């Protein structure tokens, strides 16, 4: 078998055979297929798509390229969650300890931010001493001690996806639905969790801008989970406005701790509890009550044990940006739109995000919201506060917010539901 034949087949809209897919993924992982050839195949997939059979086999081949983790030695059922990313999406931070407090083990492998969407590991690394990189035995120790762990995926987990993801990032093929679905699910299935809940976001601040595309992606990933024996369910959620009242790293950690303490913004609490219920149901823990675990402090106890087990100081003061700039409401009325993408772009420009995976991030940078969509605002009153260590970025961050805010006099605001659909 050779790479050119496989490229030509997909270029000519043929369905790849299982043998072709297995061979190309294995050969690329071993380095016998060149980046240029895999780039051509990725573009052919981007343009011509894949059948469900192809996507399932492609996912299986990427899983087979590395190790598969095993949590059967744990005394609890395992459940995990994956979000397709958004602005202010700090849900993993309160969710993992909450589900663990209700009896499941949560092996949460997370990533770093790129562009306008934040990364869970970047947020947690604002906690002094906290470590993202754990060995597999260390990960098991944290799970036994705390019940949940949030850490980086090791190099041995789906290495084919790691190589292909980096290639897609520089060849304009990131947006391919088959490649997105197989990338996410190969890592999650190789992770070895027994149940998986997907938070697939739709809207301006999401990867999928419209609901139909998000639903197609969610359906494809749920099917892949079923194909590989992992009970999978997806919630389709709105990402036209930021989640919560913060977008940044330390800013979002503070807000997550507020949720664990029984407070926090209503939308963050709503989505955290909804996803927790789905994870617990999928793990067979149908009698658990996540709302009670938030109220009685047991989720906070797990958070503190988890942070400490990963080297962090749960009592330490989180970093704060040295400089702040207030953006005021342009007029009086009802805030009817606050564009999620614009807020994420502003946070990125302030230093909370990165343009390349090698770039550093500022722990204290980001955007703080003083009003939610649907709230009344007064002209000249604080609407947003921009946080950064580099005040020369304020102008570019504020420019990102141009045309992102609508205030309407005497408007009757009809809120969009946070949870748009459920796919099983």
Q: Please state the length of the chain.
A: 424
Whether the predicted pLDDT of 325 surpasses 90: yes
**Where residue 115 falls among pLDDT bands split at 50, 70, 90?**
confident
CATH of the domain at 15: 1.20.970.10
Note whether 40 and 98 are same-domain residues.
no
Coil/strand/helix, residue 161: helix
Percent of the chain with pLDDT over 90: 89
168, 215, 231, 277: which one is catalytic?
Answer: 168
Range 383-395 average pLDDT: 98
Question: 168 an active-site residue?
Answer: yes
How far from the centroid of its chain's Cα atoms is residue 43's Cα? Answer: 25
CATH of the domain at 334: 3.90.1170.30
* Closest among 82, 157, 81, 93 to 121, alpha carbons compared: 93
Q: In the prediction, which pLDDT does 36 show?
A: 96
Q: In the prediction, which pLDDT does 413 show?
A: 80
Judge contact between 92 and 106, C-beta under 8 A. no
Does some domain include residue 371? yes
10, 90, 116, 187: which one is catalytic?
Answer: 187
* Closest among 424, 310, 388, 10 to 178, alpha carbons compared: 10
What residues are paired with 386 via a beta bridge?
Answer: 325, 367
Alpha-carbon span 161 to 156, nearest angstrom? 11
182, 183, 186, 256: which one is catalytic?
Answer: 183
89, 122, 161, 227: which one is catalytic?
Answer: 161
Does some domain include residue 223? yes
Q: In the prediction, which pLDDT does 410 show?
A: 76
Alpha-carbon span 295 to 67, nearest angstrom? 39
How far from the centroid of its chain's Cα atoms is residue 72's Cα? Answer: 26
Mean pLDDT of the chain: 95
Note whether 40 and 9 are same-domain residues.
yes
Question: Based on the number of CB atoms within 10 Å of its own CB, is 314 exposed (0-12), middle (13-18) or buried (19 or more)?
Answer: middle
The residues near 30 (Cβ < 8 Å, ≥ 6 apart) are none
* Closest among 217, 261, 249, 223 to 236, alpha carbons compared: 217
Alpha-carbon span 299 to 291, nearest angstrom? 10
**Where residue 140 falls among pLDDT bands split at 50, 70, 90?**
very high
Q: What is the total count of domains within the chain?
A: 3
Query: What number of helices (H) and strands (E) belong to the chain?
Result: 16, 13
Total-model pTM? 0.94
Does some domain include residue 177? no
Range 183-207 average pLDDT: 95
Note whether 328 and 400 are same-domain residues.
yes
Instruction: Encode pLDDT of 278-308 as tens digits.
Output: 999 999 999 999 999 999 999 999 999 999 9
Question: 183 an active-site residue?
Answer: yes
Q: Given 309, 334, 357, which residue is the final one in a domain?
A: 309
Range 5-15 average pLDDT: 98
Note whether 198 and 336 are same-domain residues.
no
* Closest among 319, 385, 390 to 350, alpha carbons compared: 390
Instruction: Encode pLDDT of 77-103 as tens digits.
Output: 999 999 999 999 999 999 999 999 999
**Where residue 112 falls among pLDDT bands split at 50, 70, 90?**
confident
Note whether 342 and 204 are same-domain residues.
no
10, 82, 116, 305: which one is catalytic?
Answer: 82
Does some domain include residue 227? yes
Whether the predicted pLDDT of 249 surpasses 90: yes
Judge contact between 290 and 277, C-beta under 8 A. yes
Note whether 305 and 327 are same-domain residues.
no
Whether the predicted pLDDT of 251 surpasses 80: yes
**Where residue 313 falls among pLDDT bands split at 50, 70, 90?**
very high
Note whether 43 and 94 are same-domain residues.
no
Question: 188 an active-site residue?
Answer: no
Question: 298 an active-site residue?
Answer: no
Note whether 151 and 268 are same-domain residues.
yes
Does some domain include residue 70? no
Instruction: Encode pLDDT of 149-178 as tens digits.
Output: 999 988 888 999 989 988 887 898 988 999
Q: In the prediction, which pLDDT does 114 show?
A: 73
Lowest mean pLDDT of 4-8, 270-274, 359-363, name the range.
Answer: 359-363
Percent of the chain with pLDDT over 70: 100
* Closest among 89, 107, 88 to 99, alpha carbons compared: 107
Note whether 253 and 214 are same-domain residues.
yes
What residues are paired with 388 via a beta bridge?
Answer: 323
Note whether 268 and 333 are same-domain residues.
no
Which domain, by its residues, includes 357? 323-408
Q: In the prediction, which pLDDT does 312 show?
A: 98
Alpha-carbon span 293 to 177, nearest angstrom? 37
Range 375-397 average pLDDT: 97
Note whether 270 and 334 are same-domain residues.
no
Q: In the prediction, which pLDDT does 111 show?
A: 86
Alpha-carbon span 48 to 44, nearest angstrom? 6
Q: In the prediction, which pLDDT does 415 show?
A: 85
CATH of the domain at 84: 3.40.1030.10
Does some domain include residue 301? yes
Alpha-carbon span 185 to 196, nearest angstrom? 10
Sign for the CA dihedral angle at 29, 31, 32, 38 comes to: positive
Q: In the prediction, which pLDDT does 116 show?
A: 84
The residues near 13 (Cβ < 8 Å, ≥ 6 apart) are 48
Does some domain include residue 100? yes
Question: 116 an active-site residue?
Answer: no
Does some domain include residue 141? yes
Note whether 294 and 356 are same-domain residues.
no
């Amino acid at each position: 078998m050779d790479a050119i034949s496989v490229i030509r087949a997909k270029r000519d809209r043929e369905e790849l055979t299982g043998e072709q897919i297995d061979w190309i993924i294995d050969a690329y992982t071993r380095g016998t297929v060149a980046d240029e050839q895999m780039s051509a195949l990725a573009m052919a997939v981007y343009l011509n798509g894949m059948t469900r059979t192809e996507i399932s086999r492609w996912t299986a081949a990427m899983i087979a390229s590395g190790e598969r983790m095993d949590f059967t030695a744990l005394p609890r059922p395992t459940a995990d969650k994956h979000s397709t990313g958004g602005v202010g999406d700090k849900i993993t931070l309160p969710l993992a300890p909450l589900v663990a407090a209700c009896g499941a083990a949560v092996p949460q492998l997370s990533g770093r931010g790129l562009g306008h969407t934040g990364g869970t590991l970047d947020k947690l690394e604002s906690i002094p001493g906290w470590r993202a990189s754990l060995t597999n035995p260390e990960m098991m120790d944290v799970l036994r001690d705390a019940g949940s762990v949030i850490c980086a995926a090791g190099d041995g987990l789906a290495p084919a996806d790691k190589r292909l993801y980096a290639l897609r990032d520089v060849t304009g093929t990131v947006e391919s639905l088959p490649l997105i679905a197989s990338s996410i699910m190969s890592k999650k299935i190789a992770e070895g969790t027994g149940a998986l809940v997907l938070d697939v976001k739709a809207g301006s601040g999401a990867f999928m801008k419209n609901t139909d595309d998000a639903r197609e992606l969610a359906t494809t990933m749920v099917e892949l989970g079923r194909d590989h024996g992992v009970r999978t369910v997806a919630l389709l959620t709105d990402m036209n406005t930021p989640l919560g009242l913060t977008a940044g790293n330390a800013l979002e950690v503070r807000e997550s701790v507020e949720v664990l303490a029984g407070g926090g913004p209503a939308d963050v609490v709503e989505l955290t509890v909804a996803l927790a219920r789905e994870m617990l149901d999928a793990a067979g823990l149908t009698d658990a009550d996540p709302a009670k675990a938030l109220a009685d402090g047991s989720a906070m106890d797990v958070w503190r044990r988890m942070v400490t087990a990963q080297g962090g100081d749960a009592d330490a003061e989180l970093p704060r940006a040295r400089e702040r700039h207030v953006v005021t409401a342009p007029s009086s009325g009802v805030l009817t739109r606050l564009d999620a993408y614009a807020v994420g772009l502003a946070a990125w420009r302030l230093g909370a995000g990165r343009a390349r995976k090698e770039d550093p991030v500022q722990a204290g940078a980001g955007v703080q919201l003083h009003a939610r969509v649907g709230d009344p605002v007064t002209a000249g009153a604080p609407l947003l506060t921009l946080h950064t260590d580099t005040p020369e970025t304020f102008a570019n961050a504020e420019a990102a917010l141009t045309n992102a805010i609508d205030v309407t006099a005497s408007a009757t605001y009809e809120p969009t539901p946070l949870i748009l659909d459920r796919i099983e």
